[in-house]
Amino acid sequence: MMRLLIMGPPGAGKGTQAKKISEHYNIPAISTGDIFRANVSQGTPLGLVVQKIMADGGYVGDDITNDLVTNRLLEDDTNDGWLLDGYPRTLQQVEHLDDVMGEHGVHLDAVLCLVADVDEVVQRLHLRAVQEGRDDDNPDAIRARQEKYLLETEPLIETYRERGLLVEVDGLGPVQDVTVRIFNALDQHAKLVGESH
């Protein structure tokens, strides 16, 4: 049973590593970004609302995002744990997640933060723009996303540090190396938590 968050700046490798963690612990990786993108590509009413916000590198509104996560966490595949990728991103989302977990009587095991400097992540996103052609990987949106992250999301890391949940991992280097670092750091964290109880 594992309930995890994965955080880090846009381009730090959250989505990439979330897949590996999901397979390793056999828990669903729930990416708000992926869910929004699927809605955009299917042209759903939600997709029509979020398309421009995402293309401009902004954040989708808290109410919409919180509702989406609340409903997703009611699905059966989340009974034995989950990994949230890219959520929460604002203080309001942190508070909402706290409320939802409180109602379910569950708690987080760890909050994984991938550390990567701006130059590296911006370079990765420019590369992805060429490879995948994502709407929000244009230079203006990449800049907007980084600024938004620094202003609204990075401060949340301290909140989780104060709660003793933060597990920071260096996100630079080959994908496989980062994955190994993540599993080692999570094992270490679980051991420390176990010892303190």
CB of 138 to ligand B4P, least distance (A): 12
Q: Packing angle between helix 118-132 and helix 139-148, nearest 10 degrees?
A: 140
Q: How far apart are CA 122 and CA 46, in angstroms?
A: 28
By beta-carbon proximity to ligand B4P, the closer residue of 85 and 109 is: 85
For the bound state, the minimum distance from the C-beta of residue 175 to ligand B4P, rounded and expressed in Å, comes to 4
Task: Map 98-140 to HEC letters.
Answer: HHHHHHHCCCCCEEEEEECCHHHHHHHHHHHHHHHCCHHHCHH
Which range touches ligand B4P (CB under 6 A), out of 13-21, 74-82, 103-111, 157-165?
Answer: 13-21
CB atoms within 10 A of CB 130: 8
Please compute, for residue 133, the number of CA atoms within 13 A of its CA located in the half-sphere on the CB side.
0
15 counts as binding ligand B4P under rule CB under 6 A: yes
Active site residue 145: yes
How far is 32 from 29, CA to CA, in rounded Å?
10
The answer to whether residue 39 forms part of the interface with ligand B4P (CB under 6 A) is no
Site for ligand B4P in 101-160 (CB under 6 A): 124, 128, 136, 145
Regarding 82 and contact with ligand B4P (CB under 6 A), the answer is: no
First to last CA, the chain: 18
Nearest-CB residue for ligand B4P: 33
CA 23/CA 18 separation, integer angstroms: 9
CA gap 169, 182 in Å, rounded: 6
Does 3 contact ligand B4P by CB under 6 A? no
Out of 11, 40, 73, 156, the residue judged to bind ligand B4P by CB under 6 A: 11
Find the part of the chain contacting ligand B4P (CB under 6 A) among 39-47, 82-90, 158-166, 186-194: 82-90
Active site residue ranges: 14, 89, 128, 134, 145
**Binding-site ranges for ligand B4P (CB under 6 A):** 10-16, 31-33, 36, 53-54, 57-60, 65, 86-87, 89, 93, 124, 128, 136, 145, 175, 178
